[in-house]
Amino acid sequence: MSTTTKTIGNDSKSPIKYSKDRKVGEGTYAVVYLGNQISTQRKIAIKEIKTGIFKDGLDMSAIREVKYLQELKHPNVIELVDVFSTTNNLNLVLEFLPCDLEVLIKDTTIVFKSADIKSWLLMTLRGIHHCHRNFILHRDLKPNNLLLAPDGELKIADFGLARSLGNPNEDLSSNVVTRWYRAPELLFGAKHYTGAVDIWSIGIIFAELMLRTPYLPGKDDVDQLDVTFRALGTPTEQIWPNVSNLPMYNALRVYPPPSRQELRNRFSAATEKALDLLISMTQLDPSRRCDSTQALLHEFFTESPRPTEPENLPKKKVKKSNDEDESEGGTKRRKL
């Protein structure tokens, strides 16, 4: 198939299994290639993690990514197809996912129907539900980490910040999650938190899908507090007991919580049920926020319209030139 294909295999034991076709990205600790699984001709991405270049050995993000993806097999979580080593490089073979939600949100030529948004939200929640029931927090949910398969299925990716939950008395770092999607308890420096931080992020992504622009775009950590509370109200002891005990609690500006009508105005296309769910996912007090089960069972998902079938969801616009990935994605229909 491909012309200049470099083939690689599992060190010594097994025969050549994957081809690396072209480099598509390079980060601080990894290089990403596109390739094929030779036995099936399935498209895959190979994340080659450099080892031996870091002072402290294997990089923590790489360790986390391998650790959690090995355990999580779910239609809405990126699949780790294989792990193998080549002369001291760690290679993660991941399923090939050509697009992400951020690209679609930014492409203003694409229209999102409310059924489309519902479908993406549903798939995100299913994926995170699977993480949470396995006691795994993602801690970096944002549109950029919600990847889209050629068949439209949404997959949660990038587990470089993930961690296990549920060892009593253990401190957690509050310096997680990309700023705009960071829950208020994290902004206040909480050392104990739960899956509610992921639910918050998904709530903010839900809002962004409706607004087509980031909902709470703080310029820095201080501004993030201001932007967040201007939109959702400043937390008080009354609505969030003990909030003032959090290490970095700060209520310099006290904004009133938004009225229902204000939210209706802001999210003009949202139904009442959609607003209910959004409000439930963005409760300032994490203990009042819904969890993934409650979110999945929310009436928003059972009211009309039905969520769009993944294969009918909007896709990245195909540039006329070359994009073979896209045409292939179009023909590979999902079996239902």
Partner 1 sequence: MKESTTDTKSSSEGSEENPEAKRKRISNDDLYRRSTQFEIWSYTAESLEAAKKKANAAGQIIATKRFNEAFAELKKASPEVFENNKDKLNPESLLNLITFEEESKYLNYYTPNIIQIAKFFKMPTQVKLTAVSFFKKFYLENSVMQYHPKNIMYTCVFLAAKSENYFVSIESFVKALKGTDAKDILDLEFIILSSLKFTLLVHHPFRPLYGFFLDFQAVLLHPSPLMYDVSVNTLGTLYDKAKNWLNENAVLSDVAFLFTPPQIALAAMYDVDKRVTDRYLKRKFLRDHADKLDDIKEEPENGDVKKEEAKVKIEGDKNIDNDAADSTATKTHGETSDIQTQREQYETLVRTIRKCIKVAKQVSKSPQDEVKEIDRKCFFALNPRKLIEKQVKKIAKEAAPSEVV
Query: Active-site positions?
Result: 140
Angstrom distance (rounded) from CA 181 to CA 158: 15
Residue 242 token pair: 């003990």
- Residue 219 binds to partner 1 (criterion: CB under 8 A): no
Cβ distance to partner 1 smaller for residue 203 or 310? 310
Of 31, 32, 58, 211, the one binding partner 1 (CB under 8 A) is 58
- Residue 326 binds to partner 1 (criterion: CB under 8 A): no
Angstrom distance (rounded) from CA 71 to CA 133: 12
DSSP 38: T
Residues forming beta bridges with residue 82, ordered by sequence position: 93
- SS3 sequence, 113-167? CHHHHHHHHHHHHHHHHHHHHCCEECCCCCHHHEEECCCCCEEECCCCCCEECCC
- Residue 262 binds to partner 1 (criterion: CB under 8 A): no
- Residue 5 binds to partner 1 (criterion: CB under 8 A): no
Cβ distance to partner 1 smaller for residue 109 or 169? 169
Does residue 30 sit in helix, strand or coil? strand
- Residue 79 binds to partner 1 (criterion: CB under 8 A): yes
- N-term to C-term CA, the chain: 29
Of 32, 37, 38, 75, the one binding partner 1 (CB under 8 A) is 75
DSSP string, 4-18: S-EEEESTTTSPEEE
Angstrom distance (rounded) from CA 285 to CA 189: 14
Q: Which of residues 93-122 bind partner 1 (CB under 8 A)?
A: 122
- Residue 42 binds to partner 1 (criterion: CB under 8 A): no
- Residue 303 binds to partner 1 (criterion: CB under 8 A): no
In the complex, what is the shortest distance from the CB of residue 294 to partner 1, in angstroms, rounded to a whole number? 16
Cβ distance to partner 1 smaller for residue 132 or 182? 132
Instruction: Describe the chain by its helix, strand, coil percentages, rounded to 5.
Output: 35, 20, 50
- Span of 75-83, 187-195, 203-211, 242-250 interacting with partner 1 by CB under 8 A: 75-83
Residue type, 133: R
Angle at 58 between CA 55 and CA 64, to 5 degrees: 135
Cβ distance to partner 1 smaller for residue 71 or 323? 71
Of 5, 31, 37, 67, the one binding partner 1 (CB under 8 A) is 67
Show the site string, 165-204: x = touches partner 1 by CB under 8 A, - = not: -xxx-x----------------------------------
Residue type, 223: D
Q: Which of residues 130-169 bind partner 1 (CB under 8 A)?
A: 133-135, 153, 163-164, 166-168
DSSP string, 171-195: ---S--S-GGG--HHHHTT-SS--T
How many CA atoms does the CB half-sphere of 86 hold within 13 Å? 18
Cβ distance to partner 1 smaller for residue 82 or 326? 82
Of 42, 317, 333, 334, the one binding partner 1 (CB under 8 A) is 334
Task: Of 297, 222, 284, give the one whose Cα is nearest residue 256.
Answer: 284
**107: which residues sit within 8 A by CB, 6+ positions away?**
316, 317
C-beta separation of 72 from 137 below 8 A? no
* Binding footprint of partner 1, residue count (CB under 8 A): 42
- Residue 273 binds to partner 1 (criterion: CB under 8 A): no
Of 156, 310, 313, 329, the one binding partner 1 (CB under 8 A) is 310
In the complex, what is the shortest distance from the CB of residue 261 to partner 1, in angstroms, rounded to a whole number? 35
DSSP 267: T
Of 30, 34, 45, 66, the one binding partner 1 (CB under 8 A) is 66
Q: Which chain residues interact with partner 1 by CB under 8 A? A: 51-52, 55-58, 60, 63, 66-68, 70-71, 73-76, 79, 81-83, 85, 88, 90, 122-123, 126, 133-135, 153, 163-164, 166-168, 170, 309-310, 334-336
